[in-house]
């Protein structure tokens, strides 16, 4: 019987290999058969901007072979910089769809569009049923078009908070937490039913800064007074197309097809079969680098995106690199003599304090060899700030969310659930604290004191590192720490960052600090290298991750079961960001790690 089974397994493996090879050959043929892209004179660059707008697409998964990867902020920035000096590109046409990204990223994109206009190129924007974020971005354009019978939904900004204590308690799940810093409010969503006064204070300050920036930017772009735009937000709400035109909020009412016809008449004969329109993706494929290929100088980009987890990587995800991958990338960039500077690009709310410190340690070593400049994208808070604090210079956008210098840990316990289902538990112990960290009950008092003291020490390490790296008195750091989040503008005032600006300004500083001569160019190189699907398919680290997946799945499934059980009985459609962070905090909390996450949902909507 064993021989028959072995033969059966052999043929299953053999057939799987054959099928896999056929898929690889087919996909390779598909990729090679894609047409070459040429750019016509008098071209119009078209950008379709919508959705989450990730800071970067770090590598490709299987689906990317059949569908286009989403546009990223770094990709759009690169495209707009190339278009500035490309004589074939006459103007840029932006179609803005529903945006689910932060204002800080839109601020950086707005800056690149303004720079494009300063180069002498025109920008047009098209909207359909646009809200505040979509309209904010559109005001970068020389002309704003709105679909007929459409409307602007301009209702202002808000922060929405959800508290999960009672829904979890109904399942018999409770949480015990320790938070160092009175503003460190990520734990509040799981242990409170209402926000603390400290949390309300920081969120109202954040909302005030966002709202003032939004009002000033829109009113300046459209030649309004700030008072006039405030009155529009407080009185109109839903502004139909013709009224929006009469009020000067838009310039024309037109479908996208009508806009393209107008541009066709302007830039080419309508009978010409060759289109004048080129998409951002096609343009990027045609123009592979924004800098010269022949340059011997490199600036390395280390992108830190998403939650910081102490692991090699998120198996199957293409949106982030794991801590150890990032560390290896920093080490390779530091050793490479062609790399003259390192740009640390951060779009992370933090996560594991241990993971953050591993990255900081690698950057400390790299900084002894070459300059390191940090560029904060939408968010670089808590652990996202930790990794940046020893950079030679730190840049952030005005509306970047940063700071949150604090630490917490949280432990779920299932005492009520155990009683509700009649689960009986017998424990045989050797050692006073051998059962102190069980998942069914709270800490014994003495164990909690030790747990709390460990986190207090971790917090002291955090604020002392900030004081040392930022050359600030410890008392000054304590005043701006306590887990409080700040906008980039306030972070500059209180000394946590150096300059307001996006990735372009950070790169200028990186070049200035390096030994690259002012009149010479450089290439941007990603570390770790971004892998396409075929490279990932045979990557040894990926194979290693797959072999360890069963062990990692135990903790993951426990965290998922807690969150999904609650979601299953909750009648509210919980936002994805809440689910992801609840899951992440519970998963890491099961290991009792010190966590450096920013507060839940600091993003202003």
pLDDT digits (tens, 9 = 90+) for 413-467: 889 988 988 989 899 999 999 998 888 899 999 999 998 999 999 999 999 999 9
pLDDT tens string 365-412:
999 999 999 999 999 999 999 999 999 999 999 999 999 999 988 888
How many C-beta atoms surround the C-beta of residue 2 within 10 A? 6
What confidence category does residue 315 fall into, taking pLDDT thresholds of 50, 70 and 90? very low
List of residues 6+ apart from 437 with CB closer than 8 A: 411, 443, 447, 592
Which of 17-26, 212-221, 239-248, 554-563 is the least confident region?
554-563
Pick one of 3.40.50.10860, 3.40.50.300, 3.40.640.10, 3.90.226.10 as the CATH number of 43-159+201-286.
3.90.226.10
The answer to whether 104 and 400 have CB atoms below 8 angstroms apart is yes
Tell me the three state secondary structure of residue 157: coil
Give the per-residue pLDDT at 109.
96
List of residues 6+ apart from 208 with CB closer than 8 A: none
Give the per-residue pLDDT at 233.
96
How many C-beta atoms surround the C-beta of residue 462 within 10 A? 28
What's the rounded mean pLDDT across residues 138-164? 94
Sheet containing 350-352: give its strands across.
Answer: 174-180, 407-413, 595-597, 350-352
What CA–CA distance (Å, rounded) separates 559 from 582?
9
Give the per-residue pLDDT at 389.
96
List of residues 6+ apart from 265 with CB closer than 8 A: none
Backbone phi, then psi, for 217, in 5-degree steps? -65, -45
Q: For the chain, what's the residue count?
A: 605
Tell me the three state secondary structure of residue 6: helix
The answer to whether 565 and 171 have CB atoms below 8 angstroms apart is yes
* Nearest one of 367, 383, 303 to 510, comparing CA atoms: 367
What residue segments make up the domains of the chain, in order of their start? Answer: 43-159+201-286, 298-408+472-597
Pairing assessment for the beta strands 174-180 and 252-253 based on DSSP bridges? unpaired
List of residues 6+ apart from 65 with CB closer than 8 A: 27, 30, 31, 533
Q: 43-159+201-286 and 298-408+472-597 share one CATH topology?
A: yes
Q: What is the pTM of this model?
A: 0.83
Tell me the three state secondary structure of residue 94: strand
Give the per-residue pLDDT at 580.
58
Cis peptide before 528 (omega within 30 of 0): yes
The answer to whether 263 and 156 have CB atoms below 8 angstroms apart is no
What CA–CA distance (Å, rounded) separates 250 from 127?
9
Strands (E), 200-292: 237-240, 252-253, 277-279
What CA–CA distance (Å, rounded) separates 162 from 140?
34
The answer to whether 25 and 72 have CB atoms below 8 angstroms apart is no
The residues with which 278 forms a beta bridge, in sequence order, are: 45
CA dist list (Å): 325 to 26, 362, 530 = 30, 11, 11
The answer to whether 368 and 463 have CB atoms below 8 angstroms apart is no
What confidence category does residue 143 fall into, taking pLDDT thresholds of 50, 70 and 90? very high
Pairing assessment for the beta strands 151-154 and 237-240 based on DSSP bridges? antiparallel
Backbone phi, then psi, for 496, in 5-degree steps? -80, -25
Q: How far is the first Cα of the chain from the last one, in angstroms, to the nearest whole number? A: 64
DSSP collapsed to 3 states, 35-61: CCCCCCCCEEEEEEEEECCCCCCCCCC
Give the per-residue pLDDT at 296.
83
Indicate the CATH number for domain 298-408+472-597.
Answer: 3.90.226.10
What CA–CA distance (Å, rounded) separates 91 from 84?
9
What's the rounded mean pLDDT across residues 90-94? 96
Residue 441: DSSP 8-state: S
Strands (E), 398-479: 401-403, 407-413
List of residues 6+ apart from 200 with CB closer than 8 A: none
What CA–CA distance (Å, rounded) separates 264 from 270?
6
Q: Which residue has the higher pLDDT, 255 or 159?
A: 255
């Amino acid at each position: 019987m064993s021989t028959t089974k072995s033969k059966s397994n052999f043929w299953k493996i053999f057939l799987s290999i054959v099928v896999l090879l056929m898929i690889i050959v087919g996909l390779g043929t598909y990729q090679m058969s894609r047409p070459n892209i040429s750019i016509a004179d008098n071209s119009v660059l078209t950008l379709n901007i919508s959705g989450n707008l990730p800071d970067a697409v770090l590598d490709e998964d299987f689906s990317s072979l059949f569908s286009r990867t989403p546009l990223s902020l770094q990709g759009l920035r690169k495209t707009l910089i190339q278009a500035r000096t490309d004589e074939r590109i006459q103007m840029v046409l932006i179609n803005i769809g529903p945006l689910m990204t932060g204002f800080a990223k839109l601020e950086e994109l707005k800056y690149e569009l303004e720079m494009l206009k300063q180069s002498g190129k025109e920008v047009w924007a098209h909207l359909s049923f646009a809200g505040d974020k979509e309209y904010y971005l559109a005001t970068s354009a020389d002309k704003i078009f709105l679909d007929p019978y459409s409307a602007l939904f301009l209702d202002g900004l808000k922060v929405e908070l959800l508290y999960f204590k009672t829904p979890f308690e109904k399942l018999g799940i409770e949480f015990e937490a320790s938070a160092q810093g009175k503003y460190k409010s990520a734990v509040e969503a799981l242990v409170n039913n209402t926000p603390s006064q400290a949390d309300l204070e920081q969120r109202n300050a954040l909302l005030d800064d966002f709202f003032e920036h939004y009002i000033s930017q829109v009113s300046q772009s459209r030649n309004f007074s700030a008072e006039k735009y405030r009155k529009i937000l407080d009185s109109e709400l839903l502004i139909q197309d013709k009224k929006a035109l009469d009020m000067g909020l838009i310039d024309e009412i037109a479908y996208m097809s009508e806009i393209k016809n107008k541009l066709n008449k302007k830039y080419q004969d309508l009978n010409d079969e060759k289109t004048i329109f080129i998409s951002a993706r096609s343009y990027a494929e045609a123009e592979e680098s924004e800098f010269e290929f022949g340059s011997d100088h490199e600036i390395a980009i280390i992108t830190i995106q998403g939650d910081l987890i102490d692991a090699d990587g998120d198996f199957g995800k293409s949106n982030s690199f794991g801590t150890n991958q990032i560390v290896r990338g920093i080490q390779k960039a530091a050793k490479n003599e062609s790399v003259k500077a390192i740009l640390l690009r951060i779009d992370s709310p933090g996560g594991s304090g241990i993971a953050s410190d591993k990255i900081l340690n690698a950057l400390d070593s790299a900084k002894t060899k070459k300059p390191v400049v940090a560029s904060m994208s939408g968010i670089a808070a808590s652990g996202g700030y930790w990794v940046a604090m020893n950079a030679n210079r730190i840049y952030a956008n005005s509306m970047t969310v940063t700071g949150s210098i604090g630490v917490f840990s949280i432990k779920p316990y299932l005492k009520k659930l155990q009683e509700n289902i009649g689960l009986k538990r017998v424990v045989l112990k050797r050692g006073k604290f051998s059962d102190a960290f069980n998942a069914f009950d709270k800490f014994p008092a003495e164990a909690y004191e030790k747990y709390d003291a460990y986190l207090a020490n971790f917090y002291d390490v955090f604020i002392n590192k900030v004081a040392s790296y930022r050359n600030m008195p410890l008392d000054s750091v304590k005043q701006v720490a306590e887990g409080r989040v700040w906008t980039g503008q306030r972070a500059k005032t209180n000394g946590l960052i150096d300059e307001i600006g996006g990735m372009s300004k950070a790169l200028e500083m990186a070049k200035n600090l390096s030994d690259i001569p002012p009149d010479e160019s450089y290439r941007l190189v990603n570390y770790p290298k971004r892998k396409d699907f075929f490279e990932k398919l045979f990557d040894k680290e990926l194979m290693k991750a797959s072999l360890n997946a069963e062990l990692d799945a135990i903790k993951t499934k426990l965290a998922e079961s807690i969150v999904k059980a609650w979601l299953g009985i909750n009648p509210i459609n919980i936002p994805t960001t809440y689910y992801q962070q609840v899951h992440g905090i519970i998963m890491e909390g099961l290991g009792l790690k010190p966590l450096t996450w920013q507060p839940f949902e600091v993003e202003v909507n």
